[in-house]
Amino acid sequence: MYDYDLFVIGGGSGGVRAGRVTAQLGKKVALAEEYRYGGTCVIRGCVPKKLMVYASAFAQQFTDAKGFGWTVGNTSFDWPTLRGNIDAELNRLEGLYEKGLTSNGADTFNQRATITGPHEVQLADGTTKSAETILIATGGRPFIPDVPGAEHVITSNEIFLLDELPKRILVVGGGYIACEFACILNGMGVEVHQYYRGAQILRGFDGEVRGHVSDEMIAKGINLHLGTDVTRIEKQDDGLHVHCTNGSICVVDQVLYATGRVANTENLGLDEVGVETGRKGEVKVDTYGQTSVPSIYAVGDVTDRVQLTPVAIREGVAFVETVFKNNPTSPDHELIPTAVFTQPEIGTVGMTEEEARDKYDVDVYRAAFRPMQVVLAGREERMLMKLIVDKATRKVLGCHIVGPAAGEMIQLAGVAVKMGATKEDFDRTVAVHPTAAEELVTMKEPV
């Protein structure tokens, strides 16, 4: 007889959802979290980041308002006020996450847990608990390369905890996290430099989208340096002196590294019990989330499949269906709509133009235009929309949007693409006018 039907290690989105839904089935559930409930998304990721995106956009909005007849007085930004308000919201959400477990009868342990057997975990206080099934949902953390002076840098974890904003910052990396924070900090008035060792930012996204966003970031004042990497960092009286591969030195107050993430699996006891891990420490699982030890499963970022909060939640629900409802369910990782909250914003689903051309004979439909809201403001920022269409079947293989509300639009476009809509299905849909989104259904000729 086990103490629990399910013991979850990790209180992020995937772990909490799996624990709560299992407890609602009347099963005996426990969850251990060593830091704060909510995980990366709620505490140090999606939620605080999106709130910072909103905050950083006001500077442009104040400027734009003049073109629409508004007189805007002196404005200033107060970081402690924003940070305090974000902290209050995170505390509220954390409480809801924990309450969702305890109100459904789950036990919670606010301490670290390690796996000591196929059906056993040990808590930091030395007590052990047995469980028929163990779920690993420990997520991931930012990766910092072994660069001389790395002890002086911060990551996306610490950016939310700064007592004051730096006047100058270097963001290292070219992925969506690096680009989002470069835009956020630029909008808040920080002098932003960004180094990326590759030829273009946002590797893996559509090539035209990458170039469009890069150009707009530069136009907004971000000092983007491509083909550039850090060789060493020295702390001096006037700031951090960052030496780079092209021989230049960038002097800043902070260096933010956003160069990928690794799974939180160290000292979890996985090797000792035979749970197989990959090269980067990720837990290897089958299509149902089961590890090499039959009684142990894993969901979310710790598996390094698709590192997105909604995916972790879907994986948690699929785990419950499989293990506790006798309904083997494999989470669907195909055609996942994604938003990147750069400025301008990106929304994307399906294949990039480059991916599609490798497999299909395609038509590409493209619209690039100034959205209405920037015209009276006197800005030259342009919006980009693309549909990638298979010539043979007319099926829309990919949809890519860059511009205001791209994330909102791609959620709905994602439904159509997921259903297998054709270009003619888009064409038959009457445009909503005047909107930017109407371009999705009015592009008539391929480029």
Strand 154-155 versus strand 346-350 pairing type:
unpaired
pLDDT tens digit sequence for 222-273: 999 999 999 999 999 999 999 999 999 999 999 999 999 999 999 999 999 9
Question: For 316-320, 372-376, 427-431, which range has the lowest pLDDT when averaged over its residues?
Answer: 372-376
The pLDDT confidence band at residue 346, using thresholds 50, 70 and 90, is very high
- Given a contact cutoff of 8 angstroms between Cβ atoms, the answer to whether 233 and 147 are in contact is yes
Residue 14's pLDDT band (boundaries 50, 70, 90)? very high
**DSSP 8-state class, residue 357:** H
- Mean of pLDDT values over 200-211: 98
pLDDT of residue 182: 98
User: What is the mean pLDDT of the segment spanning 360-373?
Assistant: 96
Residue type, 261: R
Q: At what angle do helices 79-102 and 46-65 cross, to 10 degrees?
A: 140
User: CATH number of 4-141+262-324: 3.30.70.520, 3.40.47.10, 3.30.1330.180, 3.50.50.60?
Assistant: 3.50.50.60
Rounded Cα distance, 213 and 345, in Å: 8
Query: CA 310, CA 380: separation in Å to the nearest integer?
Result: 35
Letter for the amino acid at 148? P
Average pLDDT of span 137-153? 96
Which CATH number, 3.50.50.60, 3.30.300.90, 3.40.190.10, 3.40.50.2000, labels domain 150-259?
Answer: 3.50.50.60
Q: Average pLDDT, stretch 192-205?
A: 98
Same CATH fold assignment for domains 150-259 and 338-441: no
Q: What is the mean pLDDT of residues 138-147?
A: 95
Q: Cite the active site residues.
A: 433
Confidence band, pLDDT 50/70/90 cuts, at residue 117 = very high
Predicted confidence band of residue 409 (pLDDT cuts 50, 70, 90) = very high
Query: CA nearest 407: which of 352, 341, 363?
Result: 341
Share the mean pLDDT of the chain: 97
* Maximum C-alpha span of the chain: 72
CB 289 within 8 A of CB 315: yes
Question: For 186-195, what is the mean pLDDT?
Answer: 98
Q: What is the mean pLDDT of residues 326-340?
A: 97
Q: Convert the pLDDT of each residue in 38-76 to its tens digit.
A: 999 999 999 999 999 999 999 999 999 999 999 999 999
Residues in the chain, overall count? 447
Q: CB under 8 Å to 432, separation ≥6 — which residues?
A: 438
Q: What are the DSSP E strand ranges found in 157-203?
A: 168-172, 191-196
Mean pLDDT for 391-399 is 98
Cβ pair 271, 292 in contact under 8 A: no
Question: Is the four-CA dihedral 54, 58, 59, 63 of positive or negative sign?
Answer: positive
pLDDT band at 5 (very low <50, low <70, confident <90, very high): very high
Average pLDDT on 148-167 reads 96
What average pLDDT does range 185-193 have in this prediction?
A: 98
| Sheet with 362-369: strands ordered across | 338-340, 346-350, 396-402, 383-390, 362-369
Q: Is the alpha carbon torsion for 413, 415, 417, 419 positive or negative?
A: negative
What's the pLDDT at 306? 94
**pLDDT attached to residue 437:** 97
- Would you call the peptide bond into 434 cis, given omega within 30 degrees of 0 as the criterion? yes
User: What confidence score (pLDDT) does residue 141 get?
Assistant: 94
Is the distance from CB of 223 to CB of 193 less than 8 angstroms? Answer: yes
Q: Is the separation of the CB atoms in 331 and 311 below 8 Å?
A: yes
Mean pLDDT computed over 421-432: 98
Please confirm whether the linkage preceding 371 is cis (ω < 30° from 0).
no
Candidates 3.40.190.10, 3.40.50.1220, 3.40.50.1980, 3.30.390.30; correct CATH number of 338-441? 3.30.390.30
User: Residue 435 contacts by C-beta under 8 Å, 6 or more apart in sequence?
Assistant: none
Number of neighbouring beta carbons within 10 Å of residue 37: 24
Q: Residue ranges of the domains in the chain?
A: 4-141+262-324, 150-259, 338-441
d(C-alpha 144, C-alpha 166), whole Å: 20
Structure tokens at 422: 């054709």
Confidence at residue 58, expressed as pLDDT on a 0 to 100 scale: 96
